[in-house]
């Protein structure tokens, strides 16, 4: 039973990413969207949290990454997906938990 977790808030403004990562399980996918993509910036404190998440795929939405000027700043291991990829993740997983 794989879950898709979406995180749309900056990890530096509230604890949604932290809470999300404490609830993920093996095989789950975390998709960073909107201000959630700031978690994937290389060298940031939040990127360390992401690096500690074992057995979980971390993705970031391309449109939100590019809009914020982060395309060449992402930490290794984060997969960038477009809107079509977002839809694929929804269909590949059993259900979605949105960490608003």
Partner 1 sequence: MSEVKNFLYVNRKAPHGTIYALESLEVVLIGAAFEQDVALAFLDDGVFQLVKGWDTSELGVKNFQPAYTALGDYDISKIYVERESLEERGLSEDDLLELTYEDEDDDWAEKSSIRIVSREEMAQIMRDADVILSF
Minimum CB separation from partner 1 for residue 94, in Å?
Answer: 28
Instruction: Map the footprint of partner 1 across residues 32-91, applying CB under 8 A.
Output: 34-35, 38, 41-45, 47, 62-64, 66-73, 82-83
C-beta closer to partner 1: residue 28 or 58: 58
Cβ(3)–Cβ(63) under 8 Å? no
| Structure tokens that stand for 34 in this block | 């909107």
| Structure tokens that stand for 71 in this block | 């395309």
Query: Going by C-beta distance under 8 Å and a sequence separation of 6 or more, which residues neighbour residue 74?
Result: 40, 41, 42, 60, 65, 80
d(CA 17, CA 1): 21
By CB under 8 A, residue 23 contacts partner 1: no
* Among 7-15, 20-28, 49-57, 88-96, the segment contacting partner 1 (CB under 8 A): 7-15
Residues of the shown chain interacting with partner 1 in the complex, contacts defined by CB under 8 A: 8-10, 12-13, 34-35, 38, 41-45, 47, 62-64, 66-73, 82-83
């Amino acid at each position: 039973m794989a879950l898709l977790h979406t995180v749309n808030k900056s990890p530096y403004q509230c604890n949604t990413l932290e809470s999300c990562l404490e609830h993920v399980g093996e095989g789950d996918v975390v998709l960073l969207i909107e201000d959630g993509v700031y978690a994937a910036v290389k060298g940031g404190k939040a990127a360390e949290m992401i690096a500690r998440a074992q057995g979980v795929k971390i993705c970031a939405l391309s449109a939100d990454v590019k809009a914020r000027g982060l395309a060449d700043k992402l930490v290794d291991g984060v997969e960038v997906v477009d809107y079509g990829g977002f839809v694929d993740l929804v269909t590949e997983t059993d259900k979605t938990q949105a960490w608003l």
